Structure 1
Amino acid sequence: MKQIAIFFIFLVLVSCQYFEAKKTSKDAILKKELKTFNWNEVDTYPSFPVCDSLDTLTNKKQCFETTLANHISTQLAKQTFVVTQDINDTIVLELLITEKGQLQIKQFTADSLTLAELPNIKQVIETSLDSLPPIYAAIKRGQQVKSQFKLPIILQVN
């Protein structure tokens, strides 16, 4: 009987470590949390005031891109371009929207013929972006964040 009692006392003393609460450091929690979400996607895309009434994320993104493209197209249509050759090109704008909703052109890509025929096309597009309505920045986990995307613009001048 004593041997059984000693065995149980020994068992209780040895097994105490299994009842202790495991503590996780803040750094371990942070590392685990950073691995769980996708840094390349946002919770809410940048938007204009006219896009706020839409309900789905996809619709808001499409509204933002359409509004931006229509605004640039309208501004380009107001310009008179004189060219010696027909131009049928796609200009690609790589745009950055800051946390404060400011729009910046990071990269402007166009064909060399387009740039030769329309040397001021970049300035015209930059000027058209100055008259945009206010932009609401993208949101990731409740914080306003920078976002970057490409916007193709089809340019046809006859």
Structure 2
Amino acid sequence: MFVSCNYFDVKKTTSDAILNEELKTFNWSDVDDYPSFASCNDGVSKEEKKRCFQNTLTVIISNKIQKDTIVVSQNIDDTIYIKFQISETGKLSFIEAKVDSVTLREIPNINELLANSLDSLPTIYPAIKRGQQVKTAFTLPVIIRVN
């Protein structure tokens, strides 16, 4: 009498196969903790920290731009979308700004003003994914009103 059982068959799995399966389930567009400033670490939830970081950055940019004298021939009420990148070490880099053609014609140095507004930011703590500091990119809307 011969009896067989597949229960004892062992299939070998390579580390590459495990890695490939893990990468399939890995969400590349989400992080465990968003980038933050020291003042934003009091937030309880991940979304509160994200909102605090965005609001703080918007206030810093707006305040620095308001200090510059901007002369225009017509009123401007525009939303500029600024694309940033934050490195694994917390260094913020200005990538580009999507600016309306009217705003660009009235304020030709708007990109320079935006880049200069980022010169003296407080320390930025980079995003965290699975316990590791990671590079992130995001777009921030900034409202420009000049009368």
* TM bin (shorter chain): over 0.9
What is the root-mean-square deviation in Å for CA atoms of aligned residues? 1.3
The residue matched to 1:122 in structure 2 has which SS?
A: helix
The residue matched to 2:117 in structure 1 has which SS?
A: helix
The reply to whether residue 34 of structure 1 matches residue 23 of structure 2 is: yes
TM-score between the two structures when normalised by the length of structure 2? 0.94
Q: Identity percentage over the alignment?
A: 53
| Correspondences of 1:5-44 after superposition (within 5 Å) | 7=1, 10-11=2-3, 15=4, 18-44=7-33
User: Counterpart of 1:45?
Assistant: 34
The reply to whether residue 81 of structure 1 matches residue 70 of structure 2 is: yes
User: Counterpart of 1:61?
Assistant: 50
Larger Rg: 1
- Choose between structure 1 and 2: higher helix proportion: 1
The reply to whether residue 97 of structure 1 matches residue 94 of structure 2 is: no
- Choose between structure 1 and 2: higher strand proportion: 2
Paired AA for residue 80 in structure 1: T
Paired AA for residue 43 in structure 1: D
Q: Distance in 1 between matches of 2:22 and 2:135?
A: 20
For structure 1, list consecutive stretches of 5 or more residues without a partner in the other structure: 1-6
The residue matched to 1:100 in structure 2 has which SS?
A: coil
Q: Distance in 1 between matches of 2:7 and 2:33?
A: 44
TM-score between the two structures when normalised by the length of structure 1? 0.88
Task: Measure how far apart 1:114 and its partner are.
Answer: 1.1
Runs of 4+ in 1 over 3 A off after TM superposition: none
User: Counterpart of 1:3?
Assistant: none
Q: Distance in 1 between matches of 2:145 and 2:6?
A: 75
User: Counterpart of 1:112?
Assistant: 101
Q: Distance in 2 between matches of 1:17 and 1:50?
A: 59
